């Protein structure tokens, strides 16, 4: 599987999981509270904070979902059509757009439900101004963070074109990139994170109290799995950089002076104790799929990561460490 297929596959699963989760919550929030809502919901408020427009409950559930589905479709087409130098930039605005839009739509839907819950008529609905402001602020922060995290890939350098040991001319900058992803770990992250998001939306909509015993453990578990579901590796004259998760956080770095050797090695999940971030007699392994791994030895310990084209990355890393030691 080449690097582009890995990126497209990981993005497809990530977009699908996020899109499905947001869609389910947009439709599910008003339907789950329908016994406590009027027949028509206030969906528009005037400048004075008083409701001045309404929709049937089904329309209030479906309209935001349709907006979200259209946005996801446009973003997915843009991602699949991106290639070469535009791909990293596309990934940046795609992540920022989908994350911020999803957060805003869920926050807006929660605000609408909260304003209408336990009201006899939609004209009695409360104000949504404060909640909408919070939703906008959070959406902007999330989108900006996503854009900044992915933007650092743009223009970072050219991939290595040579295959074996590299004779690097003095003063020339050579960079090697590779990625890997595990769709099942992405799915597990979605499955564990969706109940936490649903509980948070329900609390924001005033349907339940904050279920911290559900939100915190499931949310943390989802983030932990997400961080181990994909990886990006970069070899340069600075050494090796391994970035975890879709936004490259956290990141581990090894300077060229600290790396004793590098090699490519075939490993299977059964050898290292399963999928994800594993510690055993072989050292530390980030196992995303069985097969080729880039393995380095630094300060007497081994670290391995599942990546494509590991032999080329190891060759460049050995050349760079030798040049540093010379």
Taking only the tens place, the pLDDT of each residue in 246-290 is 777 788 999 888 888 888 888 888 788 888 888 887 888 888 888
What is the predicted pLDDT for the residue at 87?
58
DSSP annotation of 234 reads: E
In the structure, how many helices (H) and strands (E) does the chain have? Answer: 8, 11
Give the pTM.
0.56
pLDDT tens digits for range 21-46: 888 888 888 888 888 889 899 988 88
The pair of structure tokens assigned to 265 is 């090695």
Cβ proximity of 242 and 287 under 8 Å: no
Name residues whose C-beta falls within 8 Å of residue 237's C-beta, 6 or more positions apart in sequence.
173, 174, 256, 320, 324
What is the predicted pLDDT for the residue at 116?
92
Cβ proximity of 52 and 43 under 8 Å: no
Residues of the chain with pLDDT under 70: 1-15, 79, 81-92, 146-172, 325-326
β-bridge partners, 239: 236, 255
Q: Which long-range contacts (CB under 8 A, 24 or more apart) does 81-89 make?
A: 83/4, 87/4, 87/7, 88/150, 88/151, 88/153, 88/154, 88/156, 89/151, 89/154
3-state secondary structure of 119: coil
What is the predicted pLDDT for the residue at 154?
40
Cβ neighbours, 10 Å, residue 167: 6
Separation between Cα atoms, residue 101 and residue 98, nearest integer Å = 5
DSSP letters along 135-162, please? HHHHHHHHHHHHHHHHHTTTT--PPP--
Dihedral through CA 85, CA 88, CA 89, CA 91, nearest 10?
Answer: 140
What is the predicted pLDDT for the residue at 79?
67
């Amino acid at each position: 599987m080449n690097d582009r297929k890995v990126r497209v596959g990981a993005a497809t699963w990530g977009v699908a999981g996020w899109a499905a989760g947001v869609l389910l919550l947009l439709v599910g929030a008003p339907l789950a509270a329908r016994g406590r809502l009027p027949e028509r919901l206030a969906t528009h408020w005037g400048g004075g904070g008083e409701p001045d427009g309404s929709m049937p409950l089904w329309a209030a559930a479906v309209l935001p979902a349709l907006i979200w589905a259209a946005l996801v479709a446009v973003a997915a087409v843009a991602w699949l059509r991106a290639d070469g130098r535009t791909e990293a930039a596309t990934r940046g605005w795609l992540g920022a757009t989908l994350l911020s839009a999803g957060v805003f739509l869920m926050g807006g839907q929660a605000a609408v439900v909260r304003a209408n819950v336990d009201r006899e008529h939609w004209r009695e609905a409360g104000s949504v101004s404060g909640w909408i402001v919070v939703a906008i602020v959070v959406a902007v922060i999330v989108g900006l963070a996503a854009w900044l995290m992915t933007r650092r890939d743009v223009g970072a350098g050219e991939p290595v074109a040579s295959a074996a040991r590299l004779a690097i001319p003095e003063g020339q900058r050579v960079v090697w990139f590779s990625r890997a992803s595990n769709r099942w770990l992405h799915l597990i992250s979605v499955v564990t994170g969706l109940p936490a998001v649903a509980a948070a939306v329900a609390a924001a909509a005033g349907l339940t109290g904050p279920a911290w015993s559900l939100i915190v453990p499931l949310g943390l578990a989802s983030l932990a799995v997400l961080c181990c579901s994909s990886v990006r590796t970069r070899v340069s004259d600075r050494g090796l950089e391994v970035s975890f998760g879709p936004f490259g956080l956290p990141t581990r770095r090894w300077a060229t002076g600290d790396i004793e050797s590098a090699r490519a090695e075939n490993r299977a999940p059964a050898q290292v104790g399963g999928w994800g971030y594993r510690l055993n007699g072989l050292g530390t392994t980030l196992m995303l799929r069985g097969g080729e791994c880039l393995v380095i030895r630094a300060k007497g310990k081994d670290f391995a990561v599942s990546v494509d084209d590991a032999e080329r990355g190891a060759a460049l890393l050995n050349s760079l460490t030798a040049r540093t030691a010379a």
